[in-house]
Each structure stands twice: as C-alpha cells, then as structure tokens.
C-alpha cells in the first residue's frame, strides 16, 4: 500500500521560520489542546483563552494555513479549533465540487 505523503510538512528548517515568531511560544502548550474528557464550560473557556493568544499572534495566517494543509486534527491552530477547521475544509470542498467518500 502506498502512503500519500503530499500533505505532510517538509523539513522544518527554513519552511517553518514563522513558528519562531508565534505568540503561543510564550504560552503553556496545554492551553491549545484539550485534555481527554474535557467538555462544556471548561472546554469552551480553554478554547477562548487559546484563541485570545492567536488573536494577537503575528503569524496567525501562516499557522492556520499550515494546519489546513497538513490536516492537523487536534488543538487550536491559527485561531480555529479542530471542529472549525474541519468545517472550513468541508465548505471549501463543497464549493469546489469535491466530495469526500463516505
């Protein structure tokens, strides 16, 4: 079976220089990833705090683009949760006429 590696990031060196300027580097990384079983108000509050960090980030667009390109499945990236990124990609596929196999 051949693996599709087209969406995997390349070497981290110069291609991800933007990460060095990310606002999240000054924050506990756990803020961006919910612990197992986190639900309701705690989940929403953590996501809101993470999004506030993203809102002031100088490389937010790079981060979001990276997460969409690599189909990052966990955490807040570029100011969007995994659910929000999934919805964004789904809308883009529908607009372009592509269907995802069931």
Q: Binding site membership: which residues?
A: 24, 54, 57, 63
State the CB neighbour count (10 A cutoff) for residue 97.
6
Burial class (CB in 10 A: 0-12, 13-18, 19+), 86: middle
Numbered residues of the known binding site for [4Fe-4S] cluster: 24, 54, 57, 63
Distance in angstroms (rounded) separating the CA atoms of residues 5 and 96? 22
Token match 């659910």: residue?
83
Q: How far apart are the first and last CA of the chain?
A: 20
């Amino acid at each position: 079976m051949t693996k599709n590696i087209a969406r995997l990031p390349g070497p981290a060196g110069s291609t991800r220089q933007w990460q060095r300027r990310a606002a999240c580097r000054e924050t506990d990384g756990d803020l961006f990833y919910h612990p197992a079983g986190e639900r309701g108000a705690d989940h929403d509050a953590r996501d809101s705090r993470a999004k506030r960090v993203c809102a002031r980030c100088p490389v937010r667009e790079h981060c979001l683009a990276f997460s969409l390109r690599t189909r990052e499945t966990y955490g807040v990236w570029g100011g969007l949760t995994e659910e929000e990124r999934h919805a964004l990609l789904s809308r883009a596929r529908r607009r372009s006429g592509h269907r995802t196999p069931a």
